[in-house]
Structures are given as C-alpha cells and as structure tokens.
Structure 1
C-alpha cells in the first residue's frame, strides 16, 4: 500500500480533518492533500510527526512503499547532496575560467563577452539550484 493511502486511512481512523492535521504538523491543508494523493511526499520530520499524531509506527507507515523510501533516501543522503554541490561549484569555477581564457583569444570580444556573461549566469544558476535544494 502506498503512503498516501496509509496517511489518509490513519487520519480518518484518528478522526482528524486535513486542516487539523496541517495545523499540528505546521504545513498547509493543501500539503496534507498532496501527500495523501501522492502528488508530493512528506519529509522525514513530517513522517515522524504524523506517525506520533496517528499513533502508528514508522515501520507500519513506511514499509512497502518503494517510492517513499526512495524519496527519503534521496532527501536525507548528505554525502550525495554534498557531492552534487561540490560538483556544481567546480563546474561553475571551471566554466568561468575557461570562458574568460577563451575570450582573450577571440578578435571580437564585445559579442563574446555577452556569451560569457550568459554562460556564467547559467552555471551560477545551476550552483544556486544545488544550494537551495540542499537547504
């Protein structure tokens, strides 16, 4: 059984509305709905809070749902997240150095500087995305 159905069943058995659960877990009612409809998954802290709120074990709540387990593994894997962040930083540094170096050898520098600027923004965006995703 998927976690969305388990969460909804546990909420109904406990007699809570989505609104009351949302208040207790400090999320929006729409977030609870998205979790129950598996449009998104709760983070590990929310899963623990829901487990306590519904008086259901984490084991019972999580076992058998491969997608949820993959989500939790991905969101809690610090080593993998750090590697991605370091990779994005290195890519950004290498891209900027390479582009500035190449701009010295081209005759029409004004056009090329615009391209360098755009590529630097793109690589910085990747870096920023990785940083935000980590938070």
Structure 2
C-alpha cells in the first residue's frame, strides 16, 4: 500500500476530516491532502508524531508490509544524501586545512631570517618549501576529487 493510501485509511479509521487530522498534527489541511495524493511526503519527525498520535508502529506506517514504497525510498535516499554531505564537508575542511598549511609554510619561509653563524654555517629553513608544495598539491588533489565526485553525482541524478 502506498503511503498516501495508508494515511487516508488511518484518517478515515479514526473518523477524522483532513482538517481535524491536520490540526491534531499541527500542519495544514493542504499538507495532509498532499500526503494522501502522494504529491509530497512528511519528514521523519512528522512520521514519528503520526505514529505516536495514532498508535501505529513506524514499521506499519513507513513500510506498510513487505514491499518498499515511496516513503521508504525517500528515507533511504535522505540517509545516503546526509552521509554524502557529511563526507563532502569533512573532506572539504581537510583540503582547506592542507592548502592553508601549505601557504603558511611559504609565508614563514618568506618572512624568516637566513644567516651565517660565526663558524660559517648557513642557517635557513629551506625544508619549508617542499613541505609547502606538498601540502598545496595535496589540498588541490582533495578539491579536484571532491569536485569530480560532485559533478558525477549531478550527472547521475539527471540521467
């Protein structure tokens, strides 16, 4: 049974109009109508409120038996999008940190003093150049990989 039909049956079993059902859930009558006509779906918090208000298990409300319906697909898709967004945010922060650290190495190298001590040994922090290049290169690679994955996901969604 589709989610809209499940909501309509639940409402009619409790002898409620769409307006009464909506006021019980603190939503508009149009929201209930959209749910019943499968135009849009409630979010997870609203599903929990419906289940508690009408003493129905979330399994029965969401799954409606053994078949996967549109609300189940939406919840699965929302979960995977949340994980993907969190992963993208973390990798973006890592890439930004790498770039910042690389530029910081160049800044320190440019503003440090090089000198020759009394015994004729040159003191300079030359090691900051390859470290800076390494961090900048790694940061750029991270951003390229994130960008390619993002574009690939956009193309996949459009197809």
Q: Show CA shifts across 1:21-69 (max 9, x none).
A: 2122222110110001100011111111111222221111112343211
What runs of 5+ residues in structure 2 fail to find an aligned partner?
A: 97-159
Confirm or deny: 8 A CA contact 1:2 1:65 kept in the other structure.
Answer: no
Structure whose CA Rg is larger: 2
CA RMSD of aligned residues (A): 2.3
- Which has the larger share of helix? 1
Confirm or deny: 8 A CA contact 2:4 2:37 kept in the other structure.
Answer: yes
Question: 1:82: which partner in 2?
Answer: 86
What runs of 5+ residues in structure 1 fail to find an aligned partner?
A: 94-135
Larger RCO, structure (CA 8 Å, separation 6 or more)? 1
Question: 2:76: which partner in 1?
Answer: 73
Flag as ranges the 4+ runs of structure 1 deviating above 3 A: 83-87
Shift of residue 7, structure 1, vs aligned partner: 0.7
Q: Please, what TM-score do these two structures have when normalized by structure 1?
A: 0.56
Alignment size in residue pairs: 90
